[in-house]
Structure 1
Amino acid sequence: MNKRIQLFEESLTLLKSMVSIPSFSREESGTAALIVQFFDNKGIKSYRKGNNVWAYNKYYDAQKPTILLNSHHDTVKPNTGYLKDPYSADIVEGKLFGLGSNDAGGCLVSLIAVFLHFYDNKNLKYNFCLAASAEEEVSGSNGIESIISELGSLDFAIVGEPTLMDLAISEKGLMVLDCTAHGQAGHAAREEGENALYKAIEDINWFKSYQFDRVSKKLGPIKMSVTMIQCGAQHNVVPATCDFVVDVRTTDAYSNEETLNIIKNSVQSEIKARSTRLSSSSIPENHPLVLSGLSLGKKTYGSPTMSDQALLRIPSVKMGPGFSGRSHMADEFIYVDEIKNGIDEYIAILEKIL
């Protein structure tokens, strides 16, 4: 059998097995074990920490730079709109249905196929590290972040997410802010107290209208959205505090820490960031991997959605088979041909730099 066809058929079989095993974020032990067993059957040594699994090419050379091939095997929970069994992995009219098939099982099995394609090549310019990560959907601390220090030196990454195989060369980061406006309680019928709700409204209007001076060429402006508010205990008491939550999508124009400092210096509310670890990410437009993709007719763009790129501190590109619009939808699916073409296109892009 042609090696490329065999890789595709093995990838399809692996994806069907993955879909059939529930693998919600933080509950991915079943699919982690499946991936380990897959490598064992190939005679390839793999490593596992928590529910993360990784492996290296046969002729790994510490003197060479290393490419990280990464995608995730956790899923969200199926929404109530499912009409099909989310774990059936049925193929109907060229579509493989099932939870996680598009986001991001198809990407992961395609990257595993690419890893296998180059696995026993002695003359590569780069090493390969294949990492199947957990907890991506919740940006969990026991996902890719927990193994980065164990993977060795990494030079750049391909992060598998459904992009129709175009190249997302930048991606917005995320900060979630817990904000508290402070006032003083008093009786609503008298001129007493200092209304924290009114103070919060002033700050909320600032979040709504403020424009940061620097705008990313790839990602546009930073986007801030007030998404939750909680205030008051009874109708006749002026509230002493008002709590609200802000979703901040950051760009490469400012670090998360810089963005946070600007916000703190501009509003009167107390601001606490739940985390600053989910940073904007990018890869230079003249990077060899990007130029290789462009030479094959691929498009580049800046992505508003977040992936494990946010936890990598190396240049990275997000690309993979499937379409982002199908992620988390009811009766999720990926076209079988998207996987086949994805394997071929990943290989073609990498061959130009290897």
Structure 2
Amino acid sequence: MITQLQEDSIALLKQLISLPSFSKEEVDTADAIEQFLQARVVKTHRKKNNVWAYNLHYDAAKPTLLLNSHHDTVKPNSGYTRDPYRPDVEEGKLYGLGSNDAGGCLVSLIATFLYFYNQENLSYNICLAATAEEEISGVNGLEYVLPDLGELEFALVGEPTLMNLAIAERGLLVLDCTVHGKAGHAAREEGDNAIYKALKDIEWFRDYRFSKVSEVFGPLKMSVTIINAGSQHNVVPALCSFTVDVRVTDAYTNEEVLKIIKNNVDCDVKPRSTRLKPSSIAKDHAIVQSGLALGRTTYGSPTTSDQALLSIPSVKVGPGDSARSHMADEFIYLDEIKEGIELYIDLLKPVINGR
């Protein structure tokens, strides 16, 4: 059965590579995924370019785990020497845009879902969600359908990790800060220089150390990255604005960090969004222990994924290598997909075959 699932998965991935699926333009790959599942007599659900399904013996009295990955891609960069939409196989490598990020993960999760689909007496329901707009953190992807998926207990998010377990992921806050002064002529003792007033807050962002330190990531990091003020050399500026990049660890929520910042600075602080949350899963969680028993390692991921939209425990794991994501002539090894399917299945077996 697993061999057939592996072959079908590779065939599906080749089809997905051949269909351009930039973020917000994933209708063709959504159709292909939907048709692939329906051809195997799986009832599917769809909203926009998001497709999801549940195991055959779904039981509302049981908890549900989420298997999620995305089918959108970035646009091919100028370094491509191959047709990004031609799924060529050479020396065991499957080339094509989205092959590694995250097509290999997605088709491997679909295969894993199908492996367990007909099984009875599982201790968890399984929800498979192939979602859109991950590459742009869009609002019409996983976040859009989460309310429709029902209550979820934990999630496997498919991203290329060499099948090691990313047990934490940083969140992101981008803050627009504004300091108000008073305009005046630079040659006279007039005005209240907004740049000088901003210096105190900028120094605070540089020097402040949060009391809680993540076991995985270490200290939370804040960086002032953009500053704008002034209109001409002889006018004291009345306004100074600057941008702060805040990489939030699993030691805090975005809201907690924002509150601490606002309590310590004088400038007006406006977050562009608090959607991209830090995420984590306990090291003693059954899925992590299962991975460790299979010889996989754990780490904290520096990259952001759809994990950031989940408020449940989640682990990011999948075939392929994050270092290949968005590279020219992207590829994934066929053996990575085959082994990924087997590892996903072995990872879940002790967790969902009995509690």
TM-score, structure 1 as length reference = 0.96
How many angstroms apart in 2 are the aligned matches of 1:246 and 1:83?
Answer: 38
Partner of 1:182: 180
- Report Cα offsets for 1:55-93 as digits up to 9, x if no partner: 011111112221110001111222222222221222222
Aligned residue for 2:73, secondary structure, equals: coil
Kindly provide the amino acid, as one letter, of the partner of residue 218 in structure 1: V
Partner of 2:9: 11
Identity across the alignment (%): 66
- Report Cα offsets for 1:198-243 as digits up to 9, x if no partner: 3333322322222111101122111112222222222222221122
Q: How many residues align?
A: 352
How many angstroms apart in 1 are the aligned matches of 2:197 and 2:95?
Answer: 50
Partner of 2:141: 143
1:36 counterpart (29, 34, 37): 34
How many angstroms apart in 2 are the aligned matches of 1:77 and 1:145?
Answer: 22
- Report Cα offsets for 1:240-299 as digits up to 9, x if no partner: 112221111112222211100111122222100112122111111111111111111111
Aligned residue for 1:163, secondary structure, equals: coil
Partner of 2:126: 128
- Report Cα offsets for 1:296-328 as digits up to 9, x if no partner: 111111112211111111111110001111111
How many angstroms apart in 2 are the aligned matches of 1:209 and 1:344?
Answer: 47
- CA change 1:14–1:226 in 2 (3 A) is same
Partner of 2:273: 275
How many angstroms apart in 1 are the aligned matches of 2:143 and 2:223?
Answer: 27
Aligned residue for 1:147, secondary structure, equals: helix
1:152-301 to structure 2, matched below 5 A, reads 152-301=150-299
How many angstroms apart in 2 are the aligned matches of 1:187 and 1:203?
Answer: 24
Deviates more, 1:272-281 or 1:184-193: 184-193
Kindly provide the amino acid, as one letter, of the partner of residue 226 in structure 1: V
1:51 counterpart (38, 42, 49): 49
TM-score, structure 2 as length reference = 0.96
How many angstroms apart in 1 are the aligned matches of 2:101 and 2:165?
Answer: 16
Deviates more, 1:47-56 or 1:74-83: 74-83
- Over aligned residues, Cα RMSD in angstroms? 1.3
1:85-104 to structure 2, matched below 5 A, reads 85-104=83-102
Shift of 1:53: 0.5
Structure 1: 5+ residue stretches without partners = none
Partner of 1:83: 81
Deviates more, 1:19-28 or 1:284-293: 19-28
